Amino acid sequence: MAKGLAFVALSLIIGVLQSANAEVPAIFILGDSTVDVGTNNYLPDSNITANFPHNGVDFPFQRATGRFSNGLNTADFLAKFFGFKRSPVSFLSLNGTLAIKKRRFRGVNFASAGSGLLDITGQTSTQKANVVPMGEQVYQFSMVYNDLVASKGTSEAQNFLSKSLIFISVGSNDIVGNHYSKNPIPKEQFIPNLAVVYEKHLRNLISVGARKFGIISVPPVGCCPSQRVSANGECLKELNDQAEAFFSTMDTLMRNLSYENKDIKYSLGNTFNITKPVIDNPQNSSFTDVKNACCGNGTLHCTPLASLCSNRHKYLFWDLFHPTQAASRLAASILFVGDSRFATPINFSQLAEA
C-alpha cells in the first residue's frame, strides 16, 4: 500500500479512537498464527510455537510471547486502534478461570497457530493436541458466554456481547494444507467446502451471543517466502488464486448470513488487496524487501540461531510465513479505516458504531 494511504489511514485512526473504544466493551479473537498471542505455549504436544528468540525482539522487554512476529501482530494493532493496550490474553493462559467482572473483563484471544477451519488442519496423526482447531475455539467462546451469563445474567451478557467485536483470521492453513496434501481437492470444490464449515462456525458463535464480526480473509499466501522457494522465487499462482476465490466465497456467505440475521453486522477485510500491491510495487510503499524473511532469510525457519535483519521495519515478512510488526500495523490500519477495496460493506472502525 502506498505511503500516502498508510499516512491517511493512521491519521484517521487518531480521530476515531475514543468514539470506537466507547462502543466496544470487549474484543474476542479467533483464528490462526496471524492473530495468535501464545495459545500454543499451553499445548504440551504442539511443535508450532514461537516462544523463543528471535521472535519478540521488538516486543516490550524483547519477550518472545508466542507471537509469530518480531513484535505485535494484527490482533494487537486492531485492539490498540479500539483503545485497548493490545490483544486480550490467550484463553488457555487463564487456566479455566476467567474471573469475569463487570468493569474489568475485556475479552479473550482463542487463536491457535497452525489451526484452520477444518479440524484436521494443523494436526498430525500422532499429535492430536498440536493446535486448537476453529471448532474448539468456538466451543471455548461458548464457555465464556456461559460464564458471562452466570456473572451478569442472560440479558446483560447478551447486551455485552452484542456490542463486543469478534475478529476472525483463518483459512490460510486450510488452503496451503490442501495444496500440499497427497490428494488435493480441486479449488472449485475445496473453497465452497471451506465456506460451509465457516458458516457452521459463525452460526454457532451467533447462537451464543456474537453479533459483530470483523472477518479477515486470506492474504496472497502464494507470495510467502516459504512458497517462493518452490516457485523459483516467484509467487505461487495457484495458492493466490485460491486466496482470491476464498474472499469471493466469503463475500457471498456474509451477505447471505446478514440478510438472514438482521441483527448481524460485519466487515469483511480483503488482505489480498492490501498486501498484493505492496508485493507488486514495493517502491510505492515503505518496504524495501517484500520477498525474503527478516528472520532466517527466507529459506530457513526462524530460530535463535537464524540470521536476523537489522532494518526490520523495511521487511514485509518476518519469517517464512508471517508478516513483520510493520506489515501487521499497516494491514490493521487499512482494515480499520480503509474504503470498500479493503473492507466491505463497512470498515472495522465503522463496525463498532453499527
Least confident of 14-23, 84-93, 302-311: 14-23
172 assigned to active site: no
The residue among 11 and 124 whose pLDDT is bigger is 124
Q: Is residue 62 part of a domain?
A: yes
313 assigned to active site: no
Of the residues 32, 33, 112, 201, only one is catalytic, namely 33
Query: Cell match 458471562: residue?
Result: 148
- Strands of 27-31's sheet in order across: 107-109, 27-31, 165-169, 212-216, 265-269, 343-344
Q: Is residue 319 part of a domain?
A: no
Whether 188 has a pLDDT exceeding 90, the answer reads yes
Of the residues 201, 319, 333, 349, only one is catalytic, namely 319
| Res. 100 pLDDT band, cuts 50 70 90 | low
Question: What pLDDT is attached to residue 18?
Answer: 45
Whether 124 has a pLDDT exceeding 90, the answer reads no
Q: How far apart are CA 123 and CA 300, in angstroms?
A: 22
Q: Is residue 299 part of a domain?
A: no
Question: What pLDDT is attached to residue 95?
Answer: 76
Apex CA 346: angle with CA 132 and CA 249, to 5°?
55
Task: Read off the CATH number of the domain in which 174 is found.
Answer: 3.40.50
Question: What pLDDT is attached to residue 1?
Answer: 43
Percent of the chain at pLDDT above 90?
83
pLDDT (tens digit, 9 = 90+) per residue, 221-257?
999 999 998 889 999 999 999 999 999 999 999 999 9
| Mean pLDDT for the chain overall | 91
Q: Is residue 276 part of a domain?
A: yes
Q: Is residue 199 part of a domain?
A: yes
Q: How far apart are CA 156 and CA 152, in angstroms?
A: 6
Q: Is residue 6 part of a domain?
A: no
Q: Is residue 116 part of a domain?
A: yes
Residues in contact with 351: Cβ distance below 8 Å, sequence separation at least 6, in sequence order: 165, 212, 213, 214, 265, 266, 267
Q: Which domain holds residue 163?
A: 24-218+237-281+325-353
Of the residues 54, 179, 201, 322, only one is catalytic, namely 322
Q: Is residue 17 part of a domain?
A: no
Give how many domains the chain has, as a whole number. 1
54 assigned to active site: no
